[in-house]
Chains A and B, each alone.
Chain A
């Protein structure tokens, strides 16, 4: 996984709450056996609407999605994270993320930045005034910033310390755990004999 320190990119306002993972990528697009190519399914149903934000050329290079609360609810499909990344998104900003989506983002290297609901509203308003404007997300200082001077929006975001550390270092989770191989082996020796096995 590539390290993530700071990112500046075009902000995309997605003015919806409860964006479930079936909306991010419908099940019919989940049949690939690779981690790439899922951008074709990203928000597939909504993209039929000519007014949908991603159909606006202003946001064609968007990489910071700003969404309403309860983003990523529903299915555990990590394909939702891959579809966002395959399209070019590096960051999703929301006031509340579903647990599994947040976990998947951390593992795959997409930054899920949780901010106060008022900050989402201010970023939406700022993007209305500055379509195609860029948002900077700094993981080191845990801040989001859009614009300069009086109209600037600047605030902190929440992310748990461990995920932040892993993203900053670009570390492979499995490699870290395999460093504790002895502890796993010791634990296995203590498991009761009546626990079920499949083979």
Chain B
């Protein structure tokens, strides 16, 4: 019997396996940020251990950093301490760091791919659940906790039980104006937040193959939102074209050897997945969430559901609690939901293609009078590229705020937060209670829906906008 893509990549990284024990897996790239690493470095110091492979480790600052005044010291003393701790740890242990102010600084999952460090067939970990993003390149990539960060620092390996395999096949093509974000939000509502638990998922099929690398990263990024261990996509010419010429991509003969290997990273025809799901992309439409977990979503053209629409008692209670928190009435058309703040950014939708798409909709239009639009590039490189293309001028002319790189309003840890009761349409990945700030209410949306919502002030798609 043949192997699936994830089994091939897994097997290439097994350092040791023994009956009744998890595999010991070698890690090709360990990404680090300020929030989940300080206690790990402390653990190394206490045990007199070193970082085994600083040459396979990269650190940047993203969760805590402000997106204005980034050339000044961080105002919040606790955030500043955490960032300064990372700087000290990187210096003490010889780890490469891209700090605030550096041209390569940004969200860790935007930085890895744009440097060319994220490549097919690798194992990539980070103390951040959205590490699944890197699976877009055909890598096994997943988030870990701080104890595991310490384990990787000390040994460059992890003990991991082999997950089951699942295929999500998305047939057909996405209709015009429907994006990778709509695709993955549709999938999560279909499976629920626990549907992927215990599985490494391979996304495949025509609609996946037709996605750009940015779109593939958006899909893989949200694998964790339906509970999957990791999500990945077989590398193809789109992948190779994206990587070629990036600063850390292989060069010359190394490039040829790498591509030759990457081309073998496909699921064999006779391989068997433990579970398969099929979806039809051609029936998909702009999709938004109405509740407080990413599985509580509906097409933009639908209405807010009622607890009575669900059979399971747990779903009824969860819906009732979600509507109460979100301040929504069952039966309200989603298009009539008024939004205070629109956030375009994050490791889900903060790459250059996302900003180009947002700008193409905002060009010649204005953000609604009592709506605020925050556009936050995922990295400094993305910011500079956008400015070189004049996208920042489009955003500013539309009345948006153009910010510096970081996680920003995705997680309510830095100054960019919602006020209690404030409602957002957000291109990020989580609509949990208080995720974007205490009492904040989040609707997860695609980039086109975010831009159109900013213009109309209610949840909208570009099709709802008047011609300019």
Contacts and interface: CB of A to CB of B under 8 A. Distances in A.
B187 to A, nearest CB: 16
Contacts of B157: 177, 184
Which residue, B26, B81, B198, B432, has most C-beta atoms of chain A within 10 A? B432
B314 A174 contact: no
B21 A73 contact: no
A180 interface: yes
A45 B24 contact: no
B197 A99 contact: yes
Contact of A199 (B16, B55, B432): B55
B323 interface: no
- Chain A interface, >50% SS class: loop
A107 B127 CA distance: 14
Nearest to B26: A187
Interface in A98-138: 98-100, 103-104, 107-108
B128 A76 contact: yes
Interface string A126-162: 0000000000000000000000000000000000111
Interface string B428-439: 001011110011
A45 B36 contact: no
B114 interface: no
Interface in A173-197: 173-174, 176-178, 180, 183-184, 187-188, 191-197
Interface stretch (B168-176, B255-263, B350-358, B455-463): B255-263
B318 interface: yes
B156 interface: yes
B75 to A, nearest CB: 13
A70 B119 CA distance: 32
Interface in B3-46: 15-16, 20-22, 24, 26, 28-29, 35-36, 38-39, 42
B421 interface: no
A90 interface: no
Nearest to B429: A74
Contacts of A34: 38-39, 42
A45 B155 contact: no
Contact of A31 (B78, B150, B261): B78
Given A160-B161, A198-B56, A20 B293 contact: yes
B348 interface: no
B254 A194 contact: yes
Contact of B258 (A81, A103, A194): A194
B145 A104 contact: yes
Nearest to A107: B147
A113 to B, nearest CB: 17
Contacts of A20: 293, 430, 432
Q: How large is the interface on B (under 10, 10 to 19, 20 to 34, 35 or more residues)?
A: 35 or more
A171 B382 CA distance: 45
Contacts of A161: 20
A174 B36 contact: no
Contacts of A176: 159
Interface string B132-151: 00000000001111111011
B365 interface: no
Nearest to A36: B39
Contacts of B161: 160, 162
A149 B151 CA distance: 46
Given A187-B15, A195-B122, A162 B56 contact: no
For the complex of A and B, the 9 pairs showing the least CB-CB separation, nearest first, are A107-B147, A78-B145, A104-B145, A33-B38, A76-B143, A194-B254, A27-B413, A194-B250, A31-B78
30 contacts: A18-B318, A20-B432, A22-B411, A26-B412, A30-B413, A31-B81, A31-B82, A33-B42, A34-B38, A35-B42, A69-B314, A74-B225, A74-B430, A74-B432, A76-B127, A107-B147, A107-B151, A162-B159, A174-B49, A177-B159, A187-B15, A193-B254, A194-B250, A196-B28, A196-B117, A198-B56, A198-B57, A198-B96, A198-B117, A199-B96
Interface of A: 16-18, 20, 22-23, 26-28, 30-35, 45, 68-70, 73-79, 81, 96, 98-100, 103-104, 107-108, 160-162, 173-174, 176-178, 180, 183-184, 187-188, 191-199
Given A103-B145, A195-B28, 16 more contacts: A17-B314, A18-B318, A28-B412, A31-B413, A33-B81, A45-B433, A73-B194, A74-B225, A75-B128, A78-B39, A108-B147, A161-B20, A174-B47, A177-B155, A196-B248, A198-B56
